[in-house]
Structure 1
Amino acid sequence: MKAALALEALSVGNPGGPAILSGLSLEVRPGEVVALLGANGCGKTTLLRGIAGLVPERAGKVWLRGQVAPRGAVARTEAGLALAFQNPDDQLFGTTVGEDVAIGPMHQGLAPDAVRARVDEALAATGLAHLAQRPIEALSFGEKKRACLAGVLAMHPAVLLLDEPTAGLDPVGERETAGLLRRLARERDVALVVSTHATDEVPFFADRVAILGEGRLLAFGAPAEVFRDAALLARAHLRAPAVAELWAQLAPFLPKSGEAPPLTVAEAARRLLPHLVPTSQEVHP
């Protein structure tokens, strides 16, 4: 399958400064979600901005759907790439939710009926249909985050970059967003690259994980593969999901299986059940 997004030995950095990340190479397939992890200051946002054309490449190439991506943010948006910023107030410009979501399709030159259809579709996908007429300033922080997502979805991108979409959300909002990202990738066949600090949520939405550190890509693989590497996580100043950390504490009391630690409560429960003693067989002192 042709990659929706490919980075080839990419180096990026802020204008006037040194390269923050160098030599990055990876591919993201249509319908795939890649989580971008790393400590504060490792360059996650800079990388997303570089892919989006907001920060110039120092070296290497960005490929979109098999073609070298054009230079500049506007050209890359027209080529099928969209970026949602971490702070929703940096992205929301409309008076109401519906008006804001319409901005992208309008700039794409769509007819009014097509714009309305795109807006309705994006609001329904993000659970905001009932807020179409609500003023932006009346939204909660979580609703603003979803409005930003609706705005980029309305442009029907092939590649969607999300900078910390769960930042500032409560645990319920984090889990709902994780489920939404997974569903959008599958239903729309869009490639998602998601920067995040929420390692507990990564197993719920990510197919693969990219770890940034030391100015480069330290690892790229399945969540189970990446999160079982304690040395890698320590090197990147990250922690495994809480369930995996708990499993590591229980491991000395369980039969050795060679399996990677579970990353979700459901998986941990499935693997623990065979080792639990039924109530009728409990030994009492």
Structure 2
Amino acid sequence: MKNNGLSVEKFFLDGTVQGLKTIAAGAVSDFIMLYLRDVRADFPEESMRRMLSVAEDTGASMLYSDYKERLSPDADGREKIIPCPLIDLQEGALRDDFDFGPLVVVRRSAFVRAVSLMDTDYSYGAFYELRLRLSEQGGGCSSIIRIAEYLYTVEERPSGQASAGQFAYVDARNRERQVEMEKICTAYLGRLGALVPGKAEKVDFEPSEKFLVEASVIIPVYNRAKTIADSIRSALSQKTDFAYNVIVVDNYSDDGTSEAIERIASLPENSGRLVHLVPSRRGHGIG
């Protein structure tokens, strides 16, 4: 595909660094469109021109945009298209699940340079590694630009799997992926010289200060009835050589979350280990 005299190639990213290296070796166009999810995309020619125009004007390494999603017809056969606005990538944003949408456009020269520096064959975090490497090439997160326009429409291909949800990290099956993401982030911070040493300075408290536990896990929550129990059990199951407790700050949930917390707190084995707090003021909406 060519626009504004610039060429674009489309590739599907499977999540592996080896996949990135294969793309880098085979791509010949000025820009690479990476599909991050298995979707059917309607990307009009004028939208591609707009994307490449912004790329040329800004010198961006990677671009993404707001988009629309076409939902399956309802029982009456009516089709619905919903807007999916995204947010700008801010400096310091390190979340591995930051939402760039289902596809991004990357400048090939920057892509090849970033991939050439990858020396670990990750199985899940290839795109996370890529976007961190791109931000290191100059300009930080400002080299990754969001276009606040609905440039394309997608339709998810049926996968037969339900959405993993916001708290997928509590699922033991995701542990390998999570460990990989942590390694990628740690290596990135190390390259920047921003990694905090693992050894912490010991704090000596006055003899008069007595604590029932040495540490507390704080979980702010609001309306997470389906996931809060797994989160609490995960926190309570940690193996340590010191006493700790779990404090759940419940911001006036009204979907059954509060009752779920109380049920777990009422178990004899959790006596003193799980504290259910409700703030004096409403409206925080945190969690």
TM-score by length of 1: 0.27
Larger of the two Rg values belongs to structure: 2
- Normalized per residue, the structure richer in helix is 1
TM-score, normalization: structure 2? 0.27
Q: Which has the higher contact order (CA 8 A, sep 6+)?
A: 1
